[in-house]
Structure 1
């Protein structure tokens, strides 16, 4: 699952986090993903989800530097199914190792949180990358896409890769094309188009809490070609009052990871 849960903005009035957190929690609990990439989660919001969703272990990194500062590109995984083998962070800038750095024409610091997991039962290992591209800088989004692709090529050792994120880009934009264009080393596929069955749910991924915002699909799940995608959907669940719990819809993909010879039992 990829889910931008909307940061706890005090100016949101009746849409502040305390009115939405049960809806967000219910969305995650009901769809029951094995791994989750969150965007815009502040420290207190992730604390609330930890308490309400004990199935998951959460990895966090604030985009402004420091462990708890700014919006997180947080990752959750089923602690009973997967072992965390390694994890780290890099920033989407000209100096990816510089904590809190702002790249190109971006308005905010942006980062990628990633981890390598091993499934206990099968020994399958895979990488999960989670990110949130800048909402203002077009150059930043294009360069961030290139940096993310290059890092995946360099560090994943041909293991399966799943990428989740709010990329602030439509399919017609250059950043999306940079992410998904065919490459000699590794190609990322949009899970929607790679799925065995037709897409489920709305064509957009944005809401105004009351209704869908048309023609604004900017959230994606991407996978390497060795990952088989069965189902893909934008989940338009509402709360008991008919409101969306966030200004983004969660994106869910059901995937199968390849079993390698060294992992066979």
Structure 2
């Protein structure tokens, strides 16, 4: 009885020490975010074909169960298969030439955890609102799919932007222009709403593109309290990655954990990239 009384008294003292009307700050549960280049289904070699690896991809996604994941190289038939196999997940995003054809920067989310408040697409060109637009010397359209999400459990909101930058070595100036355009868009968002950017950036940390992005955003891998898995992400179906092309960048979140997922469910590589995943924590917020 005495220890119970002391506990009650301590709680009372803590309550008196708070400003009038304020409640203790609450620390939210982490938000699990993934970036996954799923490899477009063009390969015909056994082991690389979409039909050979799609079950492994679903297995990995079921095991990890991210609240949201941004994809690259996605085509509609792959998206349809994934949402069929992953009940509760929904997805959005136009094809890079507009409409439902070609590759998408499709964003998938668990509708039990998140709802979309608003969403859209823009193109990495001189005319961002023109679907399929190509400038700067790019070979094909490059774009961003984005959303403002709200978490079902606590109402916390965040923005997610997802992209895939051009791949040639000589495209670095174009990637920098894309990074500047994305950073400009992010700079216009409300400062009090956290942001996460997922993507296959086709360049590595240390590049001018990386420097442009990290002037405005933090690299989740380098901010994480715990890091697991290889640093490099692209392996071209070899299982031995050679470059770090896939990143998760953040603003307004702390990062509990970052993982490069080199899982091979059933001995099968789900893609030619390893997905990367971050567990992000919203800033604590006092309630009144």
Same fold (TM over 0.5): yes
1:18 alignment counterpart: 51
Q: CA deviation at 1:134?
A: 1.0
Asked whether the equivalents of residues 127 and 156 of structure 1 are also in contact (C-alpha less than 8 Å), the reply is no
Which one is further off, 149-158 or 88-97? 149-158
Asked whether the equivalents of residues 164 and 222 of structure 1 are also in contact (C-alpha less than 8 Å), the reply is yes
1:8 alignment counterpart: 41
Q: Per the alignment, in what secondary structure is the counterpart of residue 163 of structure 2?
A: strand
Q: CA deviation at 1:260?
A: 4.1
Q: CA deviation at 1:13?
A: 4.8
Q: CA deviation at 1:122?
A: 1.3
The answer to whether residue 52 in structure 2 is matched with residue 38 in structure 1 is no
1:184 alignment counterpart: none
Q: How does 1:55-66 map to 2 (within 5 A)?
A: 55-66=88-99
Over the residues paired in the alignment, what is the CA RMSD in angstroms?
A: 1.5
Select 1:106's aligned residue among 117, 121, 138: 138
Separation (CA, whole Å) in 2 of partners of 1:48 and 1:118: 25
The answer to whether residue 250 in structure 2 is matched with residue 217 in structure 1 is no
Unaligned runs of 5+ in 2: 1-33
The answer to whether residue 157 in structure 2 is matched with residue 125 in structure 1 is yes
Q: Per the alignment, in what secondary structure is the counterpart of residue 207 of structure 1?
A: coil
Separation (CA, whole Å) in 2 of partners of 1:147 and 1:156: 17
Q: CA deviation at 1:75?
A: 0.5
Q: Deviations over 1:56-83 (max 9, x none)?
A: 11112100111x1111101011101212
Asked whether the equivalents of residues 63 and 72 of structure 1 are also in contact (C-alpha less than 8 Å), the reply is yes
Select 1:95's aligned residue among 101, 105, 127: 127
The answer to whether residue 28 in structure 2 is matched with residue 28 in structure 1 is no
- How many positions carry a matched residue from both structures? 253
The answer to whether residue 68 in structure 2 is matched with residue 51 in structure 1 is no
The answer to whether residue 117 in structure 2 is matched with residue 85 in structure 1 is yes
Q: Deviations over 1:37-92 (max 9, x none)?
A: 011110100010010011211112100111x1111101011101212100011001
Task: Evaluate the alpha carbon distance shift between residue 29 and residue 97 of structure 1 in structure 2; reply closer, same or farther with a 3 A threshold.
Answer: same
1:254 alignment counterpart: 279
The answer to whether residue 245 in structure 2 is matched with residue 175 in structure 1 is no
Q: CA deviation at 1:243?
A: 3.3
Q: CA deviation at 1:103?
A: 2.9
Q: TM-score, normalised by structure 2?
A: 0.84
Which one is further off, 152-161 or 84-93? 152-161
Separation (CA, whole Å) in 2 of partners of 1:156 and 1:189: 17
Select 1:188's aligned residue among 195, 205, 217: 217
Asked whether the equivalents of residues 210 and 243 of structure 1 are also in contact (C-alpha less than 8 Å), the reply is no
Q: Per the alignment, in what secondary structure is the counterpart of residue 206 of structure 1?
A: coil
Q: Per the alignment, in what secondary structure is the counterpart of residue 155 of structure 1?
A: coil
Q: CA deviation at 1:211?
A: 2.1
Q: CA deviation at 1:156?
A: 3.9
Instruction: Return the structure number with greater relative CO, CA threshold 8 A, min gap 6.
Output: 2
Separation (CA, whole Å) in 1 of partners of 2:176 and 2:205: 13
Q: Deviations over 1:26-45 (max 9, x none)?
A: 11111111111011110100
Q: Is the radius of gyration larger for structure 1 or structure 2?
A: 2
Separation (CA, whole Å) in 1 of partners of 2:106 and 2:225: 28
Q: Deviations over 1:104-147 (max 9, x none)?
A: 12211011000001112211111011111111222210000000
Q: TM-score, normalised by structure 1?
A: 0.91
Separation (CA, whole Å) in 2 of partners of 1:45 and 1:192: 28
Moved over 6 A (4+): none
